[in-house]
Amino acid sequence: MTDNAAFWEGIEQAKQGDQAAAIACFDQAITADPHWAEAYYRRGLAYFDMGRLQQAAFDYSRAIELANDYQPALYGRALVRVVLDHFDGALDDLASLLQLNPQNPAAHQLKATALRKRGDLAAAIVSLRKATELYLDRRDPVGARQCLDLLKQLQPNASPPVLTEPLPPFNAPPTLASLQTTATGTSSTGASDAGTSNTGTPNAGAPVGAMMRPEAFYAQALNRAESGDVQGAIAELDWALKLDPQDPKALACRAAVRIKQGNWQGAIADCNRAIQGGGVDATLYRYRARARLEMGDRAGALTDLDQALAQDDQNPLLWLARGDAQQALGNYNAAIGDYNQALELGGDRPAILLLRAQAAVRQENLKQAIEDYQTAASLFCDRNDWERYRTTLEQLKMLQQPVNLSPGLPQKAQNPLWQRLLGRVGGQEAIAQTLLDRAREHYPNMDEDWYLEKVLYDLERDDLPED
């Protein structure tokens, strides 16, 4: 198959939905002509359709390097960056694209999406209005209607929408056990109190909790929710609040249960009542921040976590939560700084490393992300936490899948040692090739596998902790 034939066959395979076959065809075209910008762009589209966003971003970047006014590649990379919540990078790409073509309605619409997700609603509204005008000028009713519907949601005098955008991978909802210590001052395994049997089951008779100390009562309600009886826990806390509607501990516990339930508005209402009633502590602000983050109020979540840290700056959970809020806002450097602080204070190391890796991915710092994923996987292995170990390895595998950047070296690309080296350097072939060239200078006349093993040995030796 000729180079042009491989390129056009790739386009046809992509149209038919066989993205893997399309990528193979584009690989062949790029092998013959490493400076073919459209081939990189088309391969990036195929990677994007497969969900391999990092590879797509790399191919779009290569296309832009080869043709810096390549508008489809600028739009494609901006779209990937919006999906990855890398808003500053996306807005830079869109600025370049709109400088080339200010009348591109799709670029204005994507810019509005990036601005909205970053929390800049006023600027997002301006971009949506511009996109609507351009769609109408082009007699595109579908695009215009999409923008008008979004404008109705974002206008200040409209009812605010309930946003349901997902949190970053690995940021799973907290367990109630992790919330409990700060809410009640006791652990979930507290000793049996008056009013409970030896099995921890409430005795029959008086209303649940009537004969228990408050701390044990709140612990019992949280444990009930953790075991799956969320409605039963809510009922117990409702009963307690009938006795004292402003009890800050009861409100905090009910907020925690509502977070478990996914009732974000209810959790915020409980936190508001507790704070207004004088129950101002870091836990309440953390709960409210969690609910606000889930509802899309990222700036409000960050404000709450700043308040919480002003009261308790030695709590790793608060630094971790603020890192999540920073990451949701696209402030990745700030997020990494908060995760580092949580690590220094003794937070759950592998879980924090996963979140830091995610922030590094969104900064397109694959080397740091791979290192964090590798360390987290090792720690999960040490804990015998095999489910999270496997999940982490899957994420790592996705990052370490190298893009074929050496068209002239197909055999090397298939060498497992070469693939392993690429994984060690974050898929950056130029770095790998430089390390191999240095090894050849110092140790001439050795075979290729020897050089690969030598470079890998040196890299892995440098990663070992010093005695």
Residue 240 CA to residue 419 CA, distance in Å, equals: 61
How do residues 242-273 score in pLDDT, each as one tens digit? 767 878 888 889 999 999 888 999 999 999 99
Residue 103 CA to residue 153 CA, distance in Å, equals: 24
pLDDT at 63: 92
**3 state DSSP class of 111:** helix
Nearest 5°: the CA angle 36, 42, 48 is: 140
Residue 432 CA to residue 446 CA, distance in Å, equals: 17
Residue 206 CA to residue 2 CA, distance in Å, equals: 85
Radius of gyration of the chain from its Cα atoms, rounded to whole angstroms: 27
Element (H, E) at 441: helix 429-442
The two three-digit tokens of residue 76, written as one number? 């494609």
**Taking the CB of residue 69, how many other CB atoms lie within 10 A of it?**
12
pLDDT at 401: 64
The two three-digit tokens of residue 151, written as one number? 């404008």
Residue 248 CA to residue 399 CA, distance in Å, equals: 45
Nearest 5°: the CA angle 28, 30, 33 is: 115
99 burial via Cβ count (<10 Å: 0-12, 13-18, 19+):
exposed
Residue 361 CA to residue 401 CA, distance in Å, equals: 14
pLDDT at 461: 66
Sign of the alpha-carbon torsion through 14, 17, 20, 24: negative
Residues paired with 196 in a beta bridge:
202
Nearest to 72 by CA among 84, 81, 60: 60
Contacts of 74 (CB under 8 A, 6+ apart): 60, 64, 93, 94, 96, 97, 100
- Phi and psi at residue 196, in whole multiples of 5°? -125, 150
pLDDT at 44: 93
Spatial contact of 231 and 260, defined as CB atoms under 8 Å apart: no
pLDDT at 105: 92
Q: Which residue is listed with tokens 């990092």?
A: 54
Spatial contact of 188 and 222, defined as CB atoms under 8 Å apart: yes
Q: Which regions in the chain score pLDDT beneath 70?
A: 1-3, 155-214, 243, 279-280, 400-415, 425-428, 460-467
pLDDT at 192: 32
DSSP 357-372: HHHHHHTT-HHHHHHH
Amino acid at position 211, single letter? M
The two three-digit tokens of residue 195, written as one number? 């009013």
Nearest to 299 by CA among 339, 271, 268, 331: 331
pLDDT at 167: 28
Quote the strand ranges of 86-198, DSSP E. none
pLDDT at 232: 86
Residue 329 CA to residue 293 CA, distance in Å, equals: 10
Spatial contact of 42 and 11, defined as CB atoms under 8 Å apart: yes
The two three-digit tokens of residue 374, written as one number? 């590798």
pLDDT at 279: 65
